[in-house]
Structure 1
Amino acid sequence: MDRKKILFIVPSLKAGGAERITAFLTENLNPKLFEAKLIVVGFKKDVVYDIQNIDISFLNKSRYFKAIPLLLQMIKSEKPNIVFGSSGHINSTLGIFSLLFSNIKFIVRETNIVSTVNDFPQEKNRFLFFLMKQSYPFLDAIICQSTDMKTDLIQKLNINSSKITVINNPIINEIKTRRPKTESDKIKFITVGRMSWIKGHLRLLKVLSQLQYDFLYTIIGSGLAKECLIVEDEINRLNLSKKVRLIPFTQNVLSELQQHDFFLQGSYVEGFPNALLESCSVGTPVITFEVAGGTKEIIQNGINGFMVKNEEELLSLLNNLDLIQNIKTEDVLSSVATKFDKKKILRQYEDLFLSVSK
């Protein structure tokens, strides 16, 4: 059987779930079945992932729309069997490209609960929503990271369910346990997520400021200067400056997760929370709001963490140390080890690619 040639397209290789998963697929697809190449719209200087074993081309464009002529040219010259996207504007453009290349299959990986994000005034992008509505029906296959995401696409974009496949994200790092905790340590919380209103940093800070015991809280994430300043101002307003540590970016996220007692997720919506899954993969339990998306496909209440419906429930739970500290590290690890195994997830992608390109 001839190998299937796949072009993967990402905006950049900066830190991000879509970028990491796409790089993982490009590097790890079975070379006997696939010839994979990664096209990056942005610049090599921004790369934060290991790309030594990847066939990769950088278009060196600061904005995606400036890269569209180059992408068309590369698709025409490379003659792939499949073109794969994993980012909003790219995905929408590929739907339009599919009308120009009848012999090529166009597959995208959706990253958002589209309608929910569109409901938040801080996150609205009506133009992107319009593009998706017009272009997504022309795609050959759409990968959703969660069942909520699939349902959303069917209802809001009128996508044929036969085109949609649910594939969760894998645990890419090796499973490992967190460091032993000594009795004298303060409770240590951690959140990993970009500085954006939709990630819920402010409501987490509000709840933490009301705790009845001492703690340390680490936030790892970068974002627009305005968003970062809002978080910093709230930390100062709540008199938490001596308890909160801000880290814009680090290559040692897993090490940080290992050194904390609980991962906190304040998001109002999550397509599929990669950082939350990584926390479970190092044995650190999660406390999160119950929201649309993939969170509830990972969290098992009382086994690897807890889900709450509102800030009052979160405060009550965090003050119940006897309950939340009863979770066992080995239970957290085993809850995700098999379900999100990277070899298992990789095979699901390979099966889809083969079936679509027949």
Structure 2
Amino acid sequence: MNKEKIKIVFVIPSLVAGGAERVISFVSQHISKDKFEVRLLVIGFKKDTVYTVKNVQVDYLDQERVLYAIPKIIQYFTRYKPNIVVSSISHLNTVMALVSPYFRNVKFVGRESTILNQRKDKGKKRFWQRFSIFKNQHHKLDRIICQSSDMAQDLINNSQVPANKIVIINNPISKIGNLKKNLEAERDNTPSKYITIGRLTQVKGHLRLLEILSQLDDDFIYTIVGDGELKDQIFQKANDLGLQDKITHIPYTDKTDQILASNDMYLQGSYIEGFPNATLESCVAGVPVIAFNAPGGTKEIIENNINGFIVDSSKDFLKCLQAKNTWNPEQIRSSVVEKFSTDKIIKQYEDLFIEINN
């Protein structure tokens, strides 16, 4: 007699462009459908969707804010009766923690996407963070998935989360696409090509990257992929530094592997990263990375002189840009493909779900 499948609902705020949205939708599609009955619950609107989700039932609540959706979330869980609920992004995890006492037979798993207590120092608090009811609720979840060791340690030290509730699962490589061609010998008279992918926000550090690039004597082209609240400030800064003719802006693309493979170096200016998906994608494309030594998962991806550099200052960042290193795209790719393979990471998710359901 076949064992009954474990019913899992993955909950995310939206399916707009973003690392958390992409990872959760990817995991929901790739875990075994022989073992799990999977649904994806989206708080937002279908019209905003940019990620294609196959082989999974996707339900939309059509709500602008997670807080407004709480009654519908409760109704959904009551009707569907999942065994496990998996949420991602801190404010949604907090809401799941608050509703969890009403569903004693359901295991609630929250996947964190950033280092919460580091992030508080970067900009103003969100609306929901102003109310005491939303503070330090993570301990009510049955498990918390952290993308990096730094993230796990932050929750243990600063959010009163017991260590036995935390599991570290890195993000998977979702696609192995184009590999950069090794064209070092042909590049003597062509501009260097640099790229950064991510939301245009303060925490991503675009402004300090522009300051560094303005000190380069060599010719270059810098591609910025992404959109966000800091867009106008970033491009005004580029104009002020005289870089406007060297910059290409792509607000959104689903062809990141192709774009990455056509560049020489990936630049990560972030002050903090949960787990930098674009940095991982760059390595998969065979493109080396220069990144600041910031809290989060960067140091779990980058190996100095193998697939890039981690630096402590803008001065060191500039030195790495000016260095004439010879890189091996195959070696860069091989440094990450096994460590972060889909099969390996999906198995870690499946093992976790089976364990907490027993």
- How far the C-alpha of 1:128 sits from its partner, in A, is 3.0
The superposition leaves residues 124-157 of structure 1 with CA deviations (integer Å, 9 ceiling, x where unpaired) of 4485385564321110000000000000000000
Aligned twin of 2:82: 80
Secondary structure of 2:196 counterpart: strand
Aligned twin of 2:205: 200
- How far the C-alpha of 1:22 sits from its partner, in A, is 0.9
| Alpha-carbon distance in 2 for matches of 1:170, 1:62 | 29
8 Å Cα contact 2:144/2:167 also seen in 1: yes
The superposition leaves residues 262-311 of structure 1 with CA deviations (integer Å, 9 ceiling, x where unpaired) of 00000000000001100101111101101100000000000000011011
- How far the C-alpha of 1:52 sits from its partner, in A, is 3.3
| Alpha-carbon distance in 1 for matches of 2:91, 2:135 | 12
Aligned twin of 1:209: 214
8 Å Cα contact 2:182/2:329 also seen in 1: no
- How far the C-alpha of 1:47 sits from its partner, in A, is 1.3
Q: 1:231 aligns with which of 229, 234, 238?
A: 234
Query: What letter corresponds to residue 352 of structure 2 in structure 1?
Result: L
Same amino acid, percent of matched pairs: 43
Q: 1:265 aligns with which of 262, 268, 274?
A: 268
| Structure 1 stretch displaced more, 49-58 or 272-281 | 49-58
Q: 2:320 aligns with which of 317, 320, 329?
A: 317
- How far the C-alpha of 1:123 sits from its partner, in A, is 4.7
Aligned twin of 1:351: 351
- How far the C-alpha of 1:185 sits from its partner, in A, is 2.5
Question: Pairwise mapping of residues 39-118 of structure 1 onto structure 2 (< 5 A)?
Answer: 39-118=41-120
| Alpha-carbon distance in 1 for matches of 2:21, 2:207 | 26
| Alpha-carbon distance in 1 for matches of 2:149, 2:195 | 27
Secondary structure of 2:351 counterpart: helix
| Alpha-carbon distance in 2 for matches of 1:254, 1:317 | 23
The superposition leaves residues 45-87 of structure 1 with CA deviations (integer Å, 9 ceiling, x where unpaired) of 1111122322111111122212111110000010000011001
Aligned twin of 1:334: 334
Structure 1 segments of 4+ aligned residues over 6 angstroms from their partners: none
Aligned twin of 1:11: 13
8 Å Cα contact 2:146/2:169 also seen in 1: yes
1:127–1:57 CA distance, 2 compared to 1 (3 A): closer
| Alpha-carbon distance in 1 for matches of 2:39, 2:179 | 34
| Alpha-carbon distance in 2 for matches of 1:210, 1:131 | 48
Aligned twin of 2:172: 170
Query: What letter corresponds to residue 257 of structure 1 in structure 2?
Result: L
The superposition leaves residues 154-197 of structure 1 with CA deviations (integer Å, 9 ceiling, x where unpaired) of 00001100000000000001254114533233110000010101
The answer to whether structure 1 residue 153 and structure 2 residue 155 are counterparts is yes
- How far the C-alpha of 1:356 sits from its partner, in A, is 0.6
| Structure 1 stretch displaced more, 200-209 or 183-192 | 183-192
8 Å Cα contact 2:113/2:146 also seen in 1: yes
**What number of residue pairs does the alignment pair up?**
352
Q: 2:307 aligns with which of 301, 304, 307?
A: 304
Aligned twin of 1:253: 256
| Structure 1 stretch displaced more, 149-158 or 246-255 | 246-255
8 Å Cα contact 1:117/1:123 also seen in 2: no
8 Å Cα contact 1:12/1:46 also seen in 2: yes
| Alpha-carbon distance in 2 for matches of 1:51, 1:100 | 30
Q: Give the TM-score normalised by the residue count of structure 1.
A: 0.95
Gaps of 5+ in 2: none
Q: 2:224 aligns with which of 200, 209, 219?
A: 219
Secondary structure of 1:242 counterpart: helix
| Alpha-carbon distance in 1 for matches of 2:260, 2:167 | 31
Gaps of 5+ in 1: none
- How far the C-alpha of 1:11 sits from its partner, in A, is 0.7
Query: What letter corresponds to residue 128 of structure 1 in structure 2?
Result: Q
The answer to whether structure 1 residue 128 and structure 2 residue 129 are counterparts is yes
| Alpha-carbon distance in 2 for matches of 1:159, 1:212 | 49
Secondary structure of 1:99 counterpart: helix
8 Å Cα contact 2:224/2:250 also seen in 1: yes
8 Å Cα contact 2:14/2:48 also seen in 1: yes
